Amino acid sequence: MGRALIVKEYLVGSGPTASRSRDDASMPARSGSQTVDRALSILELFTLERPQWTLTEVSSEMQLTASTVHRLLRSLLAHEMVIMEPVSKRYSLGPGVMRMAKMLLERDDIQRVYDAADRYMNQLRASTGETVGLHRILGQYRACVAEAVSFQTVRTQTSVGGVQPLHVGAASKALIAWLASEERDRLLPDDSFEHRTAASPSSRAELESQLELVRKQGYATSGGETVVGAAAVAAPIFDSRGRVVAAINITGPIERWNVETMAEHLDELRDSVRTVSGLLGYVGSLP
């Protein structure tokens, strides 16, 4: 697994642009915020599944004229946010994005946590056959900062940079279960939650009941809370001050990665987070 690059949500927010209108000569002059929004929306197009785009492809996807897209790409090129291959004329993310990702990885010792966890994440992927991710709290969300993706054809994954609310999913629960109640109040100020799926917690009281079980057993599980048909198990990583700084999350299709299958790998997951926590200076006991 290579060095993680956090690209999408960390640079452009927690989700894609809601709508994009066709550029039209009859429209008023573009505002600065609209230009920024369009430029960031272009960056959102680049994914692991589709890392390169032509100007024509961007224009069609964004529903903007080629001249408008050309101006936006020219600005992104000037700041090295994208690069263009001279022969194919295809654009891809550039070193400017990498520099920003590196800065974020190094902030708050994210890179140190990743370096400690990387080996064990790959071992877990090899033994389970499923996707193994490293998640941490980012603002009022949890974000995937590194991922060892399953080699199986049918698989689930969060994708590096993907964010989810802190009240859904095994990784979220593993991250917030050991926080002080005042800190959870700050991160989750509402008493009720919007349902992501039928399986996701709908109230703070329901969530707190689940977190009590997470603290007791030392890991969290979920089934279909963030994505219908996906299941996960996650366990926390502690640092030298006894704080939960990340969680290792294993996710897969629920038909294959179910409660019985998870149980076969719980000891390995616990041993992994215990070892990584020790590498970060944690000397306490884990459940």
DSSP assignment of 29-98: PPPHHHHHHHHHHHHHH--SS---B-HHHHHHHHT--HHHHHHHHHHHHHTTSEEE-TTT--EEE-HHHH
217 plus 146 within the same structural domain: yes
The number of residues in the chain equals: 287
235 plus 170 within the same structural domain: yes
CA 206 remoteness from chain centre: 24
Give per-residue pLDDT as tens, 14-72. 333 333 334 443 344 446 788 899 999 999 999 878 999 999 999 999 999 999 999 99
**Residues in contact with 227: Cβ distance below 8 Å, sequence separation at least 6, in sequence order:** 156, 197
High-pLDDT (> 90) share of the chain, %: 69
111 plus 65 within the same structural domain: no
Whether 6 shows a pLDDT value over 90: the answer reads no
13 assigned to some structural domain: no
If one counts the domains in the chain, the total is: 2
88 plus 146 within the same structural domain: no
Query: Residue 82: phi, psi to the nearest 5?
Result: -135, 160
* Amino acid 112: pLDDT: 83
92 assigned to some structural domain: yes
21 assigned to some structural domain: no
249 assigned to some structural domain: yes
* Amino acid 31: pLDDT: 63
Range of the domain at 165: 103-279
* Amino acid 104: pLDDT: 64
Specify whether the CB–CB gap between 141 and 163 falls below 8 A. Answer: yes
8 assigned to some structural domain: no
C-alpha 132/C-alpha 88 separation (Å) is 35
Last residue within a domain, chosen from 43, 76, 96: 96
11 assigned to some structural domain: no
> What is the domain-level CATH number for residue 240?
3.30.450.40
252 plus 147 within the same structural domain: yes
The SS3 assignment for 200 reads coil
Give per-residue pLDDT as tens, 270-279. 999 999 999 9
Give per-residue pLDDT as tens, 139-168. 889 999 999 999 999 999 888 888 999 999
C-alpha 258/C-alpha 230 separation (Å) is 9
Last residue within a domain, chosen from 75, 96, 117: 96
* Amino acid 88: pLDDT: 92
194 plus 163 within the same structural domain: yes
260 plus 121 within the same structural domain: yes
16 assigned to some structural domain: no
C-alpha 212/C-alpha 238 separation (Å) is 18
Last residue within a domain, chosen from 66, 96, 126: 96
> What is the domain-level CATH number for residue 73?
1.10.10.10
* Amino acid 106: pLDDT: 59
162 plus 244 within the same structural domain: yes
* Amino acid 150: pLDDT: 96
High-pLDDT (> 70) share of the chain, %: 86
Tell which wins on pLDDT, 276 or 8.
276
Tell me the CA distances in angstroms from 251 to 64, 87, 98, 118, 287, one per residue in order.
37, 40, 27, 16, 21
Quickly state the pLDDT bin for 131 (edges 50, 70, 90). very high
Tell me the CA distances in angstroms from 124 to 2, 43, 159, 233, one per residue in order.
16, 32, 17, 12
Mean pLDDT taken over the chain: 86
CA angle 227, 138, 72 (to 5 degrees): 85
170 plus 60 within the same structural domain: no
Quickly state the pLDDT bin for 2 (edges 50, 70, 90). very low
193 assigned to some structural domain: yes
73 plus 118 within the same structural domain: no
Whether 181 shows a pLDDT value over 80: the answer reads yes
Whether 207 shows a pLDDT value over 80: the answer reads yes
Quickly state the pLDDT bin for 173 (edges 50, 70, 90). very high
59 plus 169 within the same structural domain: no
Of 106, 116, 111, nearest to 238 (Cα)? 116
192 plus 251 within the same structural domain: yes
